[in-house]
Amino acid sequence: MKGRTLGRHLKEGGKNLVRNGWMTFASVSAVAVMLFVVGAFVLMIMNVNHFASALEDDVEVRVFIDLTAGEEEQEELLNELEELAGVEEIAFVPKDEGLDSLIASLGDQGDIFETLRDENPLNDVYVVHAENPEETEQIANEAEELANVDGVEYGQDIFEQLFTVTNFVRNAGFVLILGLMFTAMFLIANTIKLTILARKREIQIMKLVGATNGFIRWPFFIEGLLLGVIGSTIPIGILSYAYVRFYDTFGQQTGIEYFQFLPQNPLILQMGALLIAIGAFVGVWGSMMSVRKFLKV
Amino acid sequence: MITMKEVWKTYPNGVMAINGIDILINKGEFVYVVGPSGAGKSTFIKMMYREEKPTRGDIIIDGQNLAKVKERQIPYIRRNIGVVFQDFKLLPQLTVYENVAFAMEVIEESKDKIRKRVMEVLDIVKLKNKARFQPHELSGGEQQRVAIARAIVNNPAVLIADEPTGNLDPDTSLEIMYLLEDINERGTTVVMATHNKEIVNTMRRRVIAIEGGRVARDEVRGEYGYER
């Protein structure tokens, strides 16, 4: 396509937006509302994911080695653990180190345990990380069956609840977003259908004088794109502002190690890019849907 | 120039519009297509600019078989065929100049070329002084001349006119006919469907009469042959 033709298409597409004043307004609003909800969900889901993965990273199976096990038997156990399905990494924590960190974690009161240095009652521990946090439970169960294992520990309860909640949020968000996308798409399709009805004669004449379908489609393509992109700017503005305010207020002070909100940068940029992309996609798809029928003259 | 071989057309609803037509129109000819309403004349004309596709048979215009071309080649075929209608089919919001230029914009000609050629054809149809007018400011005859200018602006090999004088009074009709003759003399093949008995009988040309989807008559300097 030649440059001046693109210029013509841009002009025509823009003109259509103005010509259809109210329908343009309706479609842009629909896209804006849809993307607002999508954007809010994206912010929420990203944060939930962030919490979840912080937790998941911390999920580990602690395998306590029998106090009676000698070096050879420990070695053997290590090999057996390594052969379990889904094991990513195994770290050995000798009982002295275990005691060190116990004392350190208790602060001043930890000093009482210093007396235990000579007669350490703790077990040597293998700390096992799973490749996939969801396999943790299985690994723990299998490890428990092995010889020379005194016991196995992992955060059973939190764990299952965590997965239920995060999966639910993700799925619900996804379904909602899809539903809204379709709604907005049909609204745009309808707007453009009106444009086309008004220009049916023009399209007919264009076809008669030898315009290709591509040539006819372009202005509508641009119109849809503009509808979608304009519709995305409004929610991006509102959500960015809201999140910045939110983060300024609550960002640093949750106090709980795992529950840190994602910083505004790059989250807002990602959300913005995603909304523009969805807006553009919905706009273009909607317009192409309605043009297709009219081109079969 | 235009060859139809064993052409049949049956619409999806079962109407058999064209039932075996063979015809040859040479380059530079001027042909009237006549016949009662509903006899297949309209389908015959529409197949020539590939608005309708024949069910069977071949239609060859300027070496291209319209029955076989792919959907996406149709635009390129149409650029070689100018079409004029009874209702002019002008775009009301555009000026005379823009209406004619439109046909060249669509095929992505340069601005300079468009300006030069549009003024040239407006001169041929004698509307140079009304280039800035909008269609509603013109008389019916003038509007039809704009439509003709648009149809010939890309130098088509064939000009197809479907009842071009249907909405015009006798004097204006004659004016349009002189214009079509002029265009024909410049080398363009003209095929014109008409109900206008006076014109066919005064400006004698080849007449193809279509009845019941067949060629009922094909005379070199024929006459209209129907009461109305």
Give the pLDDT confidence of A199-222 residue by residue, as tens digits: 788 888 888 888 888 888 888 888
Distance (Å) of CA B161 to CA B85, B173, B199? 6, 13, 14
User: What is the spatial distance between Cα B27 and Cα B200, in angstroms, rounded to a whole number?
Assistant: 20
- What is the predicted pLDDT for the residue at A259? 66
Q: What is the CA radius of gyration of chain A?
A: 30
Residues A25-45: pLDDT tens digits? 888 888 898 888 888 888 888
Place of tokens 């990494």: A89
What letter does residue B132 receive in the DSSP assignment? T
The ipTM of this complex is 0.84
- Mean of pLDDT values over A242-271: 76
pLDDT one-digit tens code per residue, B103-121: 998 888 888 999 999 999 9
Alpha-carbon distance B221 to nearest alpha carbon in chain A (angstroms): 31
Residue-by-residue DSSP string for A153-221: E--HHHHHHHHHHHHHHHHHHHHHHHHHHHHHHHHHHHHHHHHHHHTHHHHHHHHHTT--HHHHHHHHH
In a 3-state reduction of DSSP, which class is residue B23? strand
The amino acid present at A276, given as its one-letter code, is: I
Cα atoms found within 13 Å of the Cα of residue A275, Cβ hemisphere only:
30
Q: Do A205 and B49 touch (CB under 8 A)?
A: no
User: Per residue in B41-99, pLDDT tens?
Assistant: 999 999 999 999 999 999 999 889 999 999 889 999 999 999 999 999 998 888 999 99
pTM of this prediction?
Answer: 0.69
Q: Look up residue A255 and give its two tokens.
A: 């106090």
Q: What average pLDDT does the segment A8-19 reach?
A: 80
d(CA A194, CA A26): 13
Q: Measure A194 CA to nearest chain B CA, in Å.
A: 18
Among the residue ranges A50-64, B10-24, B76-90, the one predicted with the least confidence is A50-64
Chain A residue with Cα closest to B82: A209
Instruction: Look at residues A3, A129, A125 and name the one whose alpha carbon lies nearest to residue A67.
Output: A125
CA nearest to B33, candidates B228, B173, B227, B222: B222
What mean pLDDT is reported for chain A? 80
CA A217/CA A293 separation, integer angstroms: 11
Cβ within 8 Å, pair B89-A213: no
Average pLDDT, chain B: 93
Question: CB–CB of B89 and A208 under 8 A?
Answer: yes
Nearest to A209 among B103, B108, B110 (CB): B103
